Amino acid sequence: MGIIGSSYVAEAAAINALMGFIVVIILVSLLGIAAQVLLGLATYNDAKARGNSDPAMWGLLVGILGWIPGIVYLCVRNHRANRLMACPQCGFAHRVAEPFCPQCHVQNPYSAPFQNPLAAQQAHRAKLLLIWGIVAYVAVILLAIISVFWLTASLIGVAMY
């Protein structure tokens, strides 16, 4: 009777350890999905704040495919707005996104796509979402490492029975 009882306790402990591990893996997976969504939203808000022509595309690409499109976005995000143009009146070189020439103060007709009254708010929101996304990624990594060590310790404890 003692042998059967101890094997039952060992099986129950192993099942409990595996069930706990499965729950932790599900939580880690959900946290990873949340981190991807936060990263996509941060990219979308950053693209909107910078006057990108297609912020939804960048948000979806980064949200679905992860860090690689995010790095590509970081490489191409400012090129159009930082291009230089010559003022049609005085010839002074200035950024195409500036609404007026800094030299003669003539209105720049090409700056309209870059003017966004909500740019500061969207840039702030993008930073917050990016910070929370990074925190979520760090939590995913830490929880995954802790859960592997926890499962290993639980199974070693079960093997001792």
**For 7-60, what is each residue's pLDDT tens digit?**
777 787 778 888 888 888 899 999 999 999 999 999 999 888 877 778 899 999
pLDDT (tens digit per residue) in 120-145: 788 888 889 989 999 999 999 998 89
Which pair of tokens denotes residue 1?
């009777």
- Closest by CA to 114, choosing from 78, 147, 142, 69, is 78
CA 95 to chain centre: 29
What is the domain range of residue 56? 2-81+116-159
Domain assignment present for 88? no
Q: Is residue 150 in some structural domain?
A: yes
**Total domains, the chain:** 1
Residue 96 located in a structural domain: no
Query: Is residue 153 domain-resident?
Result: yes
Cα–chain center distance at 152: 31
Asked if residue 49 is part of any domain, the answer here is: yes
- Please check whether residue 149 lies inside any domain of the structure: yes
The CB density around residue 160, as the number of other CB atoms within 10 Å, is: 8
Q: Catalogue the long-range contacts made by 152-160 (C-beta closer than 8 Å, 24 or more residues apart).
A: 154/13, 154/14, 154/16, 154/17, 154/20, 154/21, 155/14, 155/17, 157/13, 157/17, 158/10, 158/13, 158/14, 158/17
100 inside domain = no
- The overall average pLDDT reported for the chain is 82
The pTM of the full predicted model, rounded to 2 decimals, is 0.67
Residue 27 lies inside a defined structural domain of this protein: yes
